């Protein structure tokens, strides 16, 4: 089918005629208008990005769904957005609505920004945020003033048609040991603190990611990274790593950096305190060589909770173990 004929079909299609869309990894099942061709599908934290035809073919509208980590409450997130608007974090934009509303399937946060780009006219950006399975899903509609009313009808239909299931994190709970999680694709297991569970990490190339309960918009978390299995001189890394960390974050405080026993092996343990926006964070990291690949396991904890959690976190790190068997096909692509 040639491009011109395809464009005619897209432009004349019924805007509320829907086609099914599924993203099992993200736990999303919905329906997208036929007239909105999908430009991006399941890439990084974007579940989908679709284009909305407008009078100017070079400036289509956009509808998207993105994945994030759930805040403590949607109202907490609403408050943060209000503060961002007061600080003028989006120059030229006007926040005209920011409200948590009741819907048939629970609460959602509806936010509208208005923009007036030079020579283009008014554009509206409507974002609807929904929390499910410890994740936050953000649906966004961005269109010009002429297109927006009809597009919003179809957008509302899309959201109402959406259902959520638990995302595929690649990890399953150990049926025999409480708090222990198995990552079978990469063949390892690790214990987590009470109340923690695996989630999908936005924009993170990770073998495993899990978090605890949210405090405001932040949740303490653990991240497992992997690289090609090769000999590593941990003592030499211990001598150079602190300077490398300070080079990346000059204001960070390297609290400790040295070798520790981790079961039958040695690991390099580093504790670093740093600032992430308004939060003071403490990172507890261990680097070690496994039989299959090399690992970095990083706990990032709000500093005010670190001392209390540290003994549990170190016990969890000591629990790390590789499962029998090799890596599953394709796993090496994510492990370096």
Over its length of 336 residues, how does the chain's per-residue pLDDT go in tens digits? 333 333 333 334 444 689 999 999 999 999 999 999 999 999 989 999 999 999 988 899 999 999 999 999 999 999 999 999 999 989 989 999 999 999 887 899 999 999 988 777 899 999 999 999 999 999 999 999 999 999 999 999 999 999 999 999 999 999 999 999 999 889 999 999 999 999 997 666 789 999 999 999 899 999 999 999 899 999 999 999 999 999 999 999 999 999 999 999 999 999 999 998 788 999 999 999 999 899 999 999 999 999 999 999 999 999 999 998 766 655 544 434
Please calculate the CA angle 52-55-56 and round it to the nearest 5 degrees.
Answer: 90
Q: Distance between CA atoms of 112 and 99, rounded to whole angstroms? A: 9
Number of neighbouring beta carbons within 10 Å of residue 143: 23
Q: Distance between CA atoms of 19 and 253, rounded to whole angstroms? A: 52
The CATH code of the domain at 171-333 is 3.40.1000.10
How far is C-alpha 175 from the chain's CA centre?
A: 27
Contact 188, 322 (CB under 8 A): yes
User: The tokens 């500093």 sit on which residue?
Assistant: 303
Contact 258, 269 (CB under 8 A): yes
From residue 250, alpha-carbon distances to 49, 89, 257 in Å are: 37, 25, 17
Q: Distance between CA atoms of 51 and 10, rounded to whole angstroms? A: 10
Please report, for the chain, the start and end positions of each structural domain, with discontinuous segments joined by +.
3-164, 171-333
Q: Is the dihedral of CA 209, 212, 214, 219 positive or negative?
A: negative
How far is C-alpha 138 from the chain's CA centre?
A: 11
What does the pLDDT read at residue 118?
A: 76
Scanning the chain, the segments in alpha helix (DSSP H) are: 3-12, 74-86, 148-160, 234-248, 303-318
Contact 196, 211 (CB under 8 A): yes
What does the pLDDT read at residue 106?
A: 87
Number of neighbouring beta carbons within 10 Å of residue 120: 12
Most distant pair of Cα atoms in the chain: their distance: 67
Q: What is the DSSP letter of 35?
A: T
What does the pLDDT read at residue 202?
A: 65
| Beta partners for residue 50, in sequence order | 38, 63
Choose among 102, 157, 92, 93: nearest CA to 130: 102
Tokens for 160, please give them: 């109402």
Do 3-164 and 171-333 agree at the fold level?
A: yes
Choose among 258, 256, 255, 278: nearest CA to 266: 258
Q: Which CATH class is domain 3-164?
A: alpha beta
Contact 137, 66 (CB under 8 A): yes
Q: Distance between CA atoms of 68 and 137, rounded to whole angstroms? A: 6
| Beta partners for residue 130, in sequence order | 137
């Amino acid at each position: 089918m040639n491009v011109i004929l395809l464009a005619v079909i897209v432009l004349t299609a019924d805007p509320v005629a829907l086609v099914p869309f599924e993203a099992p990894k993200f736990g999303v099942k919905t329906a997208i208008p036929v007239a909105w061709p999908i430009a991006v599908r399941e890439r990084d934290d974007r579940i989908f990005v679709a284009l909305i035809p407008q009078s100017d073919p070079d400036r289509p509208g956009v509808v998207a769904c993105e994945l994030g980590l759930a805040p403590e409450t949607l109202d907490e997130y609403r408050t943060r957005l209000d503060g961002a608007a007061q600080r003028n974090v989006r120059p030229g934009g006007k926040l005209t609505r920011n409200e948590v509303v009741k819907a048939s399937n629970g609460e959602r946060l509806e936010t509208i920004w208005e923009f007036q780009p030079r020579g283009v006219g008014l554009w509206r950006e409507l974002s609807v945020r929904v929390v499910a399975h410890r994740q936050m899903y953000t649906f966004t509609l961005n269109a010009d003033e002429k297109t927006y009313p009809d597009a919003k009808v179809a957008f509302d239909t899309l959201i109402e048609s959406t259902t959520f299931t638990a995302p595929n994190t690649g990890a399953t709970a150990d049926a025999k040991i409480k708090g222990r999680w198995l990552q079978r694709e990469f063949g390892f297991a690790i214990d987590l603190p009470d109340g923690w569970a695996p989630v999908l990490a936005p924009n993170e190339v990770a073998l495993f990611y899990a978090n605890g309960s949210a405090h405001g918009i932040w949740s303490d978390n653990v991240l497992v990274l992997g690289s090609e299995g090769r000999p590593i001189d941990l003592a030499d890394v211990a001598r150079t790593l602190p300077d490398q960390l300070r080079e990346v974050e000059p204001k960070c405080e390297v609290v400790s950096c040295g070798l520790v026993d981790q079961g039958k092996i040695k690991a390099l343990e580093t504790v670093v305190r740093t600032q992430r926006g308004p939060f003071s964070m403490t990172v507890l990291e261990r680097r070690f060589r496994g039989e299959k690949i090399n690992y970095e396991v990083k706990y990032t904890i709000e500093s005010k909770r670190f001392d209390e959690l540290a003994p549990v976190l170190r016990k969890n790190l000591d629990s790390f173990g590789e499962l029998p068997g090799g890596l599953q096909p394709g796993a090496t692509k994510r492990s370096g």
